[in-house]
Structure 1
Amino acid sequence: MTRTTGTSTWIDASVTDLESAKTFYSGLFGWEFEDLGESFGHYHLVRNNGALVGGLMDVSGMTCPDGEPLVAEWGVHLAVDDVDARAATATSRGARLVMPIEDIGSFGRSGTILDPTEALVGMWQARDLEGYEFTGDPGSPVWFELMTHEFDAASAFYTAVFDANLVPMGEPMDDDSFRYSTNGPGESASWGLGDATGVMPKEATGWRVYFGVEASEAALAKVTELGGTVLDGPVDSPFGRIATIADPSGASFQISAMSEAVAEG
């Protein structure tokens, strides 16, 4: 593997209406889809102007090993050197394996855990498929973060299991009401960890994916036109104008118009 353990390396969307999802994302981002066929459960690879973005899969009628139905959501996968060993470390530290470890053809080996803060995260041990391509273009993933009410527990877990190098971002609030760290310093950071206590309800926490867009207002108009929903925002930030979106199946994600970033003042 060339991406170090703990680096965000793959994303995919579980949806309950594949055709409406393809129409939505192709209309919003211009994505193209490649059906890998029956042997892969008709998992689709997603490309943006030819660059690999992630995956798309219809999970209608599917369940977890414990019988719970799979829901529409975006998932983040972190790179690991040995998925079996990392999963063993994760479970020893309070995580639960919710999707079994398995080979995905010659692409790699994966597993999904529910961490001790009840956030789902995937593990990806690459073989032929390293992960998505880092382009920064509109329609590509530009940031990932875990928002949690259990910041200290999450920090300890991801440091122990994924070798995270969590670097505090900025000065903490006087009352520690909001803390944010990045996995790696500055421009080398691959994802963030935010303290969502008092910021959002627990049911809204978990891993989040941000996609770049050229302009927020045009993107939001397109979301509504294509049958999606604007859940929150847009809000100005130093990292772009950000909004939270749900696709027609209900899978949520963030969009960021980085050209509309507003400096802190």
Structure 2
Amino acid sequence: MPAFEAKPGMPYWQDLVTTQPQKAAYFYAKLLGWEVSNDAYRVARKEGLPVAGIVGAETDLLGWTPYFLGLGTDGVEKLGGEVISTADVALGQMTICQDRTGCPFGLIEPHGEDQFVAAGEPGVPVWHEYIAPSQDAIDFYAELFDWEVVRDGNYFIAMEDGAPFLGMLLDETAGVSLWQTYFGVENLEHALMTVGNFGGQVISGPVASPFGLIAIAEDATGAGFHLCEVAVPEFDDIRESDSILDL
């Protein structure tokens, strides 16, 4: 599986906080082909590469939460956000925060020097999107992470070296702020059938988008997520000794 080295401020990880972690683990294993550990902090892997965590908890912060790489927590509070909690796990130091609107997000400082994340392909996250009720909510993240942001109408795209890595939708009618995670699938129609077969629910879609066919769904525990149809990458003459950075 191809991967890329994340830069500070880029999405690096995602956790699902749920009151039914075992049920959630089974659902995503069937839908996305994950292998999920049975520890208290369940780590989901795709072809051996860690892609997400599943956490059992009784909390108001249920659902998927993205984690951004590094940068510490000082800037969060200086910009009007809040640091909620910090934990040291096998992957590194993970901190839950809230932005100025009260929307949860995470920061992670991985253990070790290699900071590789799964690339956008079936079975792994391919996009993150923030629903913002105000321009101020978007400005919080742009300033915190020093993102290069390009605006197209009410849509804001964060860029790194000329490539987009997440989007932010300004929707002043939304009333709430929300981070959404898109997972890649090879065949969206088949994936939506799998959602229903294993206790989930299709909320809307499929619809065409600039990124491909997308749909909104809920997993078997009621947590919302998005699916996006993406192509399986093809590589010629790859050997196990080849550097992952050259792929």
**Fold shared, TM-score > 0.5 on shorter chain:** yes
More strand by share: 2
Q: Which runs of 5+ in 2 are unaligned?
A: 232-247
* Shift in alpha-carbon separation, 1:153–1:71, aligned structure 2, 3 A: closer
Matches within 5 A, 1:68-107: 69-81=59-71, 83=72, 87-98=73-84, 100-105=85-90, 107=91
Alpha-carbon contact 2:83-2:97 (below 8 Å) kept: yes
Matches within 5 A, 1:1-265: 3-35=6-38, 37=39, 42-59=40-57, 62=58, 69-81=59-71, 83=72, 87-98=73-84, 100-105=85-90, 107-128=91-112, 133-150=117-134, 152-169=135-152, 172=153, 179-184=154-159, 188-198=163-173, 201-203=174-176, 205-258=177-230
Deviation at 1:18, TM superposition (A): 1.9
> Structure 2 CA distance, aligned partners of 1:143 and 1:132?
16
SS in 2 for 1:90: helix
Report how many aligned residue pairs link the two structures.
227
CA RMSD of aligned residues (A): 2.1
Alpha-carbon contact 2:201-2:220 (below 8 Å) kept: yes
* Shift in alpha-carbon separation, 1:168–1:217, aligned structure 2, 3 A: same
> Structure 1 CA distance, aligned partners of 2:206 and 2:137?
28
SS in 2 for 1:192: strand
TM-score for the superposition, normalised by structure 1? 0.78
TM-score for the superposition, normalised by structure 2? 0.83
SS in 1 for 2:119: coil
> Structure 1 CA distance, aligned partners of 2:162 and 2:34?
26
Aligned to 2:234: none
Q: Which runs of 5+ in 1 are unaligned?
A: 63-68, 173-178, 260-265
More helix by share: 1
After superposition, what is the alpha-carbon deviation per residue over 1:165-207, rounded to whole angstroms, capped at 9, x for unaligned? 11224xx2xxxxxx11211168622211111234xx334x411
Deviation at 1:115, TM superposition (A): 0.4
> Structure 1 CA distance, aligned partners of 2:161 and 2:213?
20
Deviation at 1:3, TM superposition (A): 3.1
Deviation at 1:70, TM superposition (A): 3.6
Q: Aligned letter for 1:30? A: G
SS in 2 for 1:94: coil
Aligned to 1:263: none
> Structure 1 CA distance, aligned partners of 2:210 and 2:165?
17
* Shift in alpha-carbon separation, 1:102–1:225, aligned structure 2, 3 A: closer
Percent identity of the aligned residues?
A: 28
